[in-house]
């Protein structure tokens, strides 16, 4: 399984963007932070440190919660952002 710029949940993205109080107006859907603990296949998470849409802390938390996976690797290229990356330089 390969995850590019993943997030913990929609509400957690909203907390980062508009604050904790307003984030409760959004349904707490797509709770990847809970689901990743059930994944059993190898996981590769790629999240650029220059991502201004979803903070890299989401991927760090996902890696920490990938308990059932036989292998979980997190790559955080320095110059990679949310939408643009150089395949050879950032990923390989």
CA distance 18 to 45: 25
Cβ contacts of 17-23, under 8 Å, gap ≥ 24: none
Positive/negative CA dihedral, 37, 83, 48, 20: negative
Q: Which of 60, 6, 65 is nearest to 39 (CA)?
A: 65
The pTM assigned to this predicted structure is 0.84
The pLDDT score that the predictor gives to residue 92 is 60
Positive/negative CA dihedral, 51, 54, 49, 34: negative
Per domain, the residue ranges of the chain are: 2-91
The pLDDT score that the predictor gives to residue 53 is 92
The pLDDT score that the predictor gives to residue 88 is 66
| Mean per-residue pLDDT pooled into runs of 10, the chain (92 residues) | 87 90 86 94 93 95 92 90 71 60
The pLDDT score that the predictor gives to residue 36 is 95
CATH of 2-91, one of 3.40.50.1820, 3.30.870.10, 3.40.710.10, 3.40.630.10: 3.40.50.1820
The pLDDT score that the predictor gives to residue 28 is 86
């Amino acid at each position: 399984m390969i995850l590019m710029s993943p997030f913990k949940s929609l509400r957690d993205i909203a907390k980062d963007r508009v604050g904790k109080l307003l984030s409760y107006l959004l349904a707490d859907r797509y709770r990847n932070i809970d689901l990743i603990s059930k994944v059993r296949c190898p996981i590769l998470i790629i999240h650029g440190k220059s991502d201004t849409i979803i903070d890299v802390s989401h991927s760090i938390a996902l890696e920490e919660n990938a308990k059932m996976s036989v292998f979980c690797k997190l790559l955080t290229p320095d110059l990679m952002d949310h939408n643009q990356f150089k395949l050879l330089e950032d990923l390989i």
